[in-house]
Amino acid sequence: MKVVDERKKVEILFAEPHPDISAIGRALGMEGQFSCIAKSKKERSENADVYVLHGWNWTENSDLDWLKSQLKRGKAIWIFASPGMQWTALGRVFDVNWGGNASIWQDAQPHWNDAFSGWSPSAEESQRWGSLPPVKSPVVKLALPVSSAAVLYQKWGGASTQLPLMSTWKVGNSGVGMFFGEGIWRWRIEDRKDGEGKVFDAWVRRMTGLLAAGSSTKKSLEISLSKQQFDLSEEVVVRVICRDKAGEFDDEVQRTLKVAKVENGVNKSMNIISLEKDNGGWRGIVTGLTEGEYQLVAEGGIDRSQAEAQIALTNQPSELMDLQANHGLLRTLASRSDGGFCRVGEVDAFSKLLKDKVNQVPVMREEVSNEHWWDSIIWFLIIVVSFGAEWGLRRWMGKY
């Protein structure tokens, strides 16, 4: 037995100790999805899947070159801004025009971007995001790549702005995340006041999974069936599995399931099947179907994706009886006509049987032959016995 560790390897590389590092590490360590380790940036390795970079000032060319090499390798990068960092040098790596040093830092509360396509928070999560304490964010000119998506916006003194606090974008196959500030350890403390921590830990895991997904993101919507063919007496249970872009199960956004009968390759009118939440997805029971083929279509979610599947309904007891009757009839006809019988699927045996029967000598044939009485062994034995009897009689009478 070979045990394979398929967890994503996360390295938190810090320039100096900070409470954010402990908060991120504890959040990733709460589930078995990630293998996380925190260490100094001088001890960085080359075998991690995700690098969380905290406290780097980006003044050294070796750090910038290392970052470029990881982006070329398709590694996921999550960068946290810090006082004293050189924004201009880091901006050149991502081909964006950022200002120089940010000498002014201010308090900024998080505000969830409702248009973010990664996933949607529940009503309770949205309420908690609005009550989290502020973090320190730099006042700097923010020019982000066109493909970037804001996860969190900054809120100043209770007023929402369009300045991103957390953004993600792609560089080749690499997922890049930028948190414009530090101090998220306060979020974890506030979130875990009731002992549950429903927002922060899930957010860190989802962000890490989203960045690590790269170009191999799982399908956001799938239809799960126990089999493709059902009997009319069976219950057809359909599960619609939903994932967000981070690969996490997502049942917050309503999905729909439709079914249509397929006749001559054309779908008839679609009927909507009611769904209920079921372990990270949705579950529905399809009823009222007759024999035939059906098309299942699931759709919905924040990205309006669609998934399709096909099923067939048969009257299996009736078909089984017909099959048994046909099997017996074919075997009887084959035996009565000196023919051959093969089971379904035995292609090689059928070819051999057909060849033997085609080349077989005809059953009806005319034979002509002449038989003589002396060709019979019975007459030969009679002659031998007669001579023997005569010889025995003469010997008894003394004539020999």
The residue from 213, 238, 264 where one domain ends is 213
Question: Which residues of the chain carry a pLDDT beneath 70?
Answer: 1-6, 30-32, 99-103, 195, 214-220, 226-227, 243-254, 265-267, 279-280, 301-304, 316-347, 350, 357-376, 399-400
Q: Nearest 5°: CA angle at 377, between 376 and 381?
A: 130
pLDDT score at 212: 86
pLDDT score at 144: 81
**Within a domain: residue 303?**
yes
Q: What is the DSSP letter of 43?
A: G
pLDDT score at 257: 81
* Cβ atoms of 203 and 249 closer than 8 Å: no
pLDDT score at 3: 40
| 176 and 53, same domain (yes or no) | yes
Q: Is residue 230 packed enough to be buried (19+ CB in 10 Å), middle (13-18) or exposed (0-12)?
A: buried
**Within a domain: residue 106?**
yes
Indicate the pTM of the whole model: 0.58
Looking at residue 156, its amino acid is W
**Within a domain: residue 364?**
no
For the record, the structure tokens of 362 come out as: 């005809």
- Kindly tell me the sign of the dihedral angle through the C-alpha atoms of 136, 167, 188, 13: negative
Q: Crossing angle of helices 19-29/200-213, nearest 10°?
A: 80
**Within a domain: residue 387?**
no
Neighbours of 372 (CB within 10 A): 7
| 162 and 287, same domain (yes or no) | no
pLDDT score at 185: 94
Instruction: State how far the Cα of 377 lies from the Cα of 367, in Å rounded to an integer.
Output: 23
- DSSP H helices, 73-150, are 87-93, 123-129
Give 184-202 pLDDT, tens digit per residue. Answer: 999 999 998 876 777 898 8
> Residue 336 is part of which domain span?
316-341+350-357
**Within a domain: residue 392?**
no
Q: What is the DSSP letter of 133?
A: P
> DSSP for 234-278?
S-EEEEEEEB-TTS-B--SS-EEEEEEEEETTEE---EEEP-EEE
How far is residue 263 from each of residues 257, 258, 295, 309, measured CA to CA in Å?
20, 16, 10, 16
**Within a domain: residue 283?**
yes
* Cβ atoms of 205 and 27 closer than 8 Å: yes
**Within a domain: residue 369?**
no
Looking at residue 104, its amino acid is I
pLDDT score at 4: 40
The residue from 180, 213, 246 where one domain ends is 213
* Cβ atoms of 124 and 177 closer than 8 Å: no
Looking at residue 17, its amino acid is P
For the record, the structure tokens of 158 come out as: 């209770």
The residue from 192, 213, 234 where one domain ends is 213
pLDDT score at 215: 39
| 95 and 15, same domain (yes or no) | yes
CATH code at position 276 = 2.60.40.10
- Kindly tell me the sign of the dihedral angle through the C-alpha atoms of 133, 136, 141, 147: negative
| 190 and 277, same domain (yes or no) | no
* Cβ atoms of 79 and 63 closer than 8 Å: no
For the record, the structure tokens of 391 come out as: 């010889």
* Cβ atoms of 232 and 56 closer than 8 Å: no
**Within a domain: residue 128?**
yes
| 33 and 181, same domain (yes or no) | yes
Q: Into how many domains does the chain fold?
A: 3
Q: Which residues contact residue 274 at a Cβ distance below 8 angstroms, ignoring those fewer than 6 apart?
A: 284
Helix, coil or strand: residue 176: strand
Rounded to 10 degrees, the C-alpha dihedral 345/348/353/359 comes to 150
Backbone φ and ψ of 191, nearest 5°: -70, -30
Helix, coil or strand: residue 316: helix
| 304 and 327, same domain (yes or no) | no
Neighbours of 381 (CB within 10 A): 10
| 328 and 265, same domain (yes or no) | no
| 240 and 322, same domain (yes or no) | no
**Residue 43, CA atoms < 13 Å, CB-side half-sphere:** 9
> DSSP for 353-388?
HHHHHHTSPPS---------GGG-HHHHHHHHHHHH
* Cβ atoms of 258 and 270 closer than 8 Å: yes
Beta-strand pair 50-54/34-40: unpaired
For the record, the structure tokens of 49 come out as: 């899947």
Helix %, strand %, coil % of the chain (to 5): 30, 30, 40
